[in-house]
Structures are given as C-alpha cells and as structure tokens.
Amino acid sequence: MSVRSSSQSMLLPFLILHFAVAATLAPDVVAQFEGDITLNCLFPSQPGMNLQRLTLTWQKEQAGAEALVLHSYYYGKEQLERQDQIYRNRTQLDPEGLARGNASLTLRGVRIQDEGIYLCHITSEQGKISVRRQVAVMAPYSEVRLEVSVSSQVTLTCRAEGGYPEASVLWLDGARNNVTAESDTSLQRDLSGLCDVSSRILLARTGYGNYTCILESPRQPRVVRHLSVSCSSDNCTNNLCLPITLPLMVLLGILGIPWCLLRRRFSWCLAASEL
Ligand SMILES: *[C@@H]1O[C@H](CO)[C@@H](O)[C@H](O)[C@H]1NC(C)=O
Ligand SMILES: *[C@@H]1O[C@H](CO)[C@@H](O)[C@H](O)[C@H]1NC(C)=O
Ligand SMILES: *[C@@H]1O[C@H](CO)[C@@H](O)[C@H](O)[C@H]1NC(C)=O
Ligand SMILES: *[C@@H]1O[C@H](CO)[C@@H](O)[C@H](O)[C@H]1NC(C)=O
C-alpha cells in the first residue's frame, strides 16, 4: 500500500514534465581560443534520486548532419563509446554534480570549430529537459602594425595576425574621411581557423598627410593606429632614398646584416612617423 502510493507520487511529476519539454535559451558563452569553457546545464533533482534511471547526452548541432556526441551518462556511469573523436580527452563531467541536478560539462582546449549550438538532454525520474547553449569563440589578434613602404608608389599597410573572428579594417584620412573604399583588404585562414588580416592603401591618389587604420573584430576591443606622412611629395620619391639606401644595402650585405631588420629605421626617407 505505502509502496504503491509512493510510486504514484513519483509518476505524477514525471508525466507532467514529460510533456513540458523545456528549451532554455541562454546568452552566448564566449570561449577563448585554446581555453576551457563550462557549458552549464541544471535540471530538477531530488535528494536520493536514482542515477541508474538518469540519461544524459551532450551534443553539438551540425548543419545538415547528425549531431555530434560530446559526452553521455547512462546506467549509472559515463559512457564514451559514442563520443565523437574530436572531443576525445577534452570533456569533463562531474558525476557527483548529477545527484544535485548539475550536468554541466567542461570542454578543454577550445578550437574554432567548437563554435556552435550545444544541447544537453536529460531524462530522469523528474522528467525530460533539454538545455541549449550557444558558444562563440574569440582569439585576440596580435599587435596591429601600420607600416609604410616605398616602391613606385607609397603604400601604407595595416596588419594583424592569428585572431578570430574575421576582422575588418577601416581607413580614415587626416580629415577623418572614410577612405576605406580606396583600400584593399585580404584575409587568410590558417589550418586552425585563425585569421591573418592585411589591408593596404596607396597614397599616390590620396596624397600625404595623417592616416588612421582601425581594426575591428566582434567580441574584442577595436584597435586604432595613426601614421603621419608629413614630408612633401617631391621628397617622398624613391629617387631620393636610393642614393642613400643603395650604398647602405651593399654595405649591410657585406656585413651580413639582414636588410629587413633595419628597413623600418629608414622610413625617415619618407619622413613618416607613428603618432
Ligand atoms: C587521451 O589521453 C590518453 C591518456 O592520457 C592518451 O593515451 C590518448 O592518446 C589520448 N587520446 C587522444 C585522442 O588525445
Ligand atoms: C555545476 O558544475 C560546474 C562544474 O562541473 C560548476 O562550475 C558549477 O558552479 C556548478 N553549478 C552549480 C549551480 O552548482
Ligand atoms: C567606410 O567605407 C566603407 C567602404 O566604402 C564602408 O563599407 C563602411 O561601412 C564605412 N564605415 C564607416 C564607419 O563609415
Ligand atoms: C597630422 O597630425 C598632427 C598631430 O595631430 C598635426 O600637427 C598635423 O598638422 C597633421 N597633418 C596634416 C597634414 O593634417
């Protein structure tokens, strides 16, 4: 008699929750590239809950394909046979947390491909619940450099490496006009998915003066670099530089000093200075 009434009282909330499958929309989790993140997943629990009857699956959604399995728990223990190999050794669940209704999963060594939507599915004596987590990844760009180079034209190049997401480069002239349309920006992705960005602008048409490049990427602070090209256009031709730099290059060549090491120092040929 008492056994029957206790099983009934357990069955009732189960039935109610079973039909009220919860989908929680969480704010974005921003993970640092190569860092660790915890994907939170809390569910209703009861003291002395039977973990043998709890099923947990952490999955990652894939467009047009079956979801990837990150981690599972059933029959009272962690089950990793169906874990996708890209998550091998990278997931961590606290089995003791499960008894307290905490199925949060830690993912280590975050990669760019880890961006996306994660689902935590739980079936327990308390019912069924699904929690959704959206993960974004961020990698800070290396120091942004604004450099000047001279050939037949004067070129300003603004570059930064190893960041994520893709960055855009905005150019302003001395009067703070947007001259981005005159620039040429290229992005390259390396094997791990990180981006290198390089944007150049030719000064021949726009003339000399003050220039600003602004690197912007979502989820990281914008970086602003200024450069002043303050010489007159006559002095800025390569012709003036050559009589000075050519003998120097020959001398450096004899001494075995790489030209590129010193090249930056000689941008005074252009009378350009970083503000
Ligand atoms: C996972 O870790 C174990 C032990 O630390 C190691 O032997 C195995 O090679 C690792 N697997 C992968 C895919 O990194
Ligand atoms: C749930 O567990 C995770 C780690 O497994 C922990 O970081 C988090 O604080 C826990 N949350 C609660 C509400 O206990
Ligand atoms: C600057 O100009 C570029 C290209 O013309 C445009 O895409 C961008 O939205 C402009 N940005 C601002 C802040 O005006
Ligand atoms: C460039 O900026 C400096 C410092 O703000 C200013 O003194 C100079 O007049 C500017 N030059 C031009 C060509 O706008």
Q: What is the pLDDT along the chain (275 residues), one digit of tens a residue?
A: 333 433 344 444 443 343 333 444 434 689 999 999 999 999 999 888 899 999 999 999 999 999 999 999 999 999 999 999 999 999 999 989 999 999 999 999 999 999 999 999 999 988 999 999 999 999 999 999 999 988 778 899 999 999 999 999 999 998 999 999 999 999 999 999 999 999 999 886 556 789 999 999 988 999 999 998 865 544 443 333 344 445 555 565 666 555 444 443 333 334 344 44
> From the alpha carbon of 42, which atom of ligand 2 is closest?
13
The alpha carbon of 37 and the centre of ligand 1 are apart by a number of angstroms equal to 20
pLDDT at 51 (0 to 100): 92
Residue 26 has phi, psi (to 5 degrees) of -100, 155
How many Cβ atoms from other residues are within 10 Å of residue 266's Cβ? 15
pLDDT at 254 (0 to 100): 63
pLDDT at 20 (0 to 100): 37
**β-pair partners for 72:** 57, 79
The alpha carbon of 210 and the centre of ligand 4 are apart by a number of angstroms equal to 6
d(CA 233, CA 227): 16
> From the alpha carbon of 85, which atom of ligand 1 is closest?
13
> Which amino acids bring their CB within 6 angstroms of ligand 1?
88-89
38 pocket-lining for ligand 2 (C-beta < 6 Å): yes
pLDDT at 110 (0 to 100): 97
pLDDT at 239 (0 to 100): 35
Per-residue tokens: 69: 């399995």
The alpha carbon of 138 and the centre of ligand 3 are apart by a number of angstroms equal to 24
